[in-house]
């Protein structure tokens, strides 16, 4: 199974994706980690573009082919990237589950971003607000972390996953 998380920085997406990967003993793929490593090399500078996602798709496909569950943690801002993740699962012949994480209380969301160290990934509220993010196209599981604790959000994800066909 491929579990595809999406959501803006500061929504709780990474915390929840890590919790799920730990619970399922799944392979955890984080685009931020991949992009940070690529940016730290001498051969990559500036905007990485889609390269981090491409690396993650390949690693996910290898692990899914081995029978592993994979949890993909990325902003996944546009339909194209969301569909590319789904295509990975289809190529291997495994189920995919979309998990959309939001924080609809803008004051709470901003306070989470403002609490991050300045200059770190996902710490610029203005950039997050201007970020391209296509409307979610359905998805299997949607969680708004502004209305409950992270533990309650995780419980909702687990309950929803158990209820999927």
- In this structure, what CATH number is given to the domain that contains residue 66? 3.40.50.300
CB 82 within 8 A of CB 14: no
Residue 42 DSSP symbol:
T
Q: Give the model confidence (pLDDT) of 107-155 as tens digits.
A: 999 999 999 988 888 888 999 988 888 877 767 899 999 999 999 999 9
Q: What is the pTM of this model?
A: 0.92
Number of domains in the chain: 1
Q: How far apart, in whole angstroms, are the C-alpha atoms of residue 25 and residue 16?
A: 14
Domain membership of residue 89 as a residue range: 2-162
Q: Give the model confidence (pLDDT) of 8-50 as tens digits.
A: 999 999 999 999 999 999 999 999 999 888 888 776 666 777 8
Cβ neighbours of 24 (radius 10 Å)? 17
């Amino acid at each position: 199974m491929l579990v595809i998380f999406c959501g803006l920085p500061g929504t709780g997406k990474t915390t929840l994706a890590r919790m799920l990967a730990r619970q399922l003993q799944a392979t955890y793929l984080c685009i931020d980690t991949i992009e940070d490593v690529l940016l730290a090399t001498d051969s990559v500078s500036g905007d990485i573009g889609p390269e981090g996602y491409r690396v993650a798709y390949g690693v996910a496909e290898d692990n899914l082919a081995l029978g592993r569950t994979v949890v993909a943690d990325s902003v996944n801002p546009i339909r194209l990237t969301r569909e590319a993740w789904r295509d990975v699962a289809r190529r291997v012949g495994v189920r995919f589950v979309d998990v959309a994480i939001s924080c609809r209380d803008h004051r709470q969301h901003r306070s989470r971003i403002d609490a991050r160290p300045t200059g770190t990934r996902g710490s610029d509220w203005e950039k997050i607000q201007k970020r391209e993010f296509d409307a979610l196209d359905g998805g299997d599981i949607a969680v708004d972390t502004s209305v409950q604790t992270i533990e309650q959000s995780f419980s909702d994800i687990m309950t929803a996953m158990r209820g999927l066909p």
